[in-house]
Structure 1
Amino acid sequence: MSTVREIMHPGADCVRTEETAADAARLMARLGVGALPICGKDDRIKGMVTDRDIVIKVVAEGRDAGTFPAGDLNQQEAVTIGADDSTDEAMRVMNEHRIRRLPVIDGQRLVGMVTVADMARTMPEPRVGELVESLSEA
């Protein structure tokens, strides 16, 4: 059985709570991603922000992305997975919470991200199909 560490994208970046929605958007654009963890001054994950969150909570509401705190964009407490947890456990967590991107931690430190695409490359097709079906209902 493989571990999350074996399939994750190592070295995930995060937007800081004291940064702005515009900072988050620029970081997403630079990295070519649609979601980022939000980290506090203590380097712990406080939540996740997606490009959709920025559009719905900032742009559509007519707020200034240059002053809107990134820390106010988090949806809820972040769901994470341990780097040494099994890929089966990661699949279960993604299914349970209906999430496509899962921050990977080692202790309390962010060390990477695991995505549905990572799962698709490593898990048996029926299991991946179940995950994609679950996410499609979200």
Structure 2
Amino acid sequence: MTAPTACFTYGSLMCEDIFRAVAGQACAAEPAQLAGYRRHPVRGEDYPGIRPTAGTAVDGVLYRGLSTTALARLDAFEGAQYQREAVEVRTAGGTVVAAWVYVFHPAQAHRLGAGDWDAAAFMHHGKARFLRRHRPTDRSDM
């Protein structure tokens, strides 16, 4: 398999302004879904983590055309609590695309809360708090 040039996002990076600031580039974005994973809140944080879970799926945003520099910036932003994995996601149009995704590291699983992360609550309340706490690398275009 050729290394993906797309990234599937399911939390704060679904916001194009945050993604652009972290990655350092704008990318084409579209809705997509990752089967076989579940999204959980991270205790004490506004962002989620995913882990493999049979029979479930995560909705998110697929960004295409990442440069190697953008991928390195995403790696640095996600840090040690996530591990980057190659997966296949399905776009809203039904196309299957190879993509990178950041999965919550198994050693950190105790930090995941029960239930599903609430994307709507993040947009209404958590995004501003997230931006204050985590300050993406380049905020000049946010």
Range of TM-score over shorter length: under 0.3
Structure number having the greater strand percentage: 2
Q: Which has the higher contact order (CA 8 A, sep 6+)?
A: 2
Q: Which structure: larger Rg?
A: 1
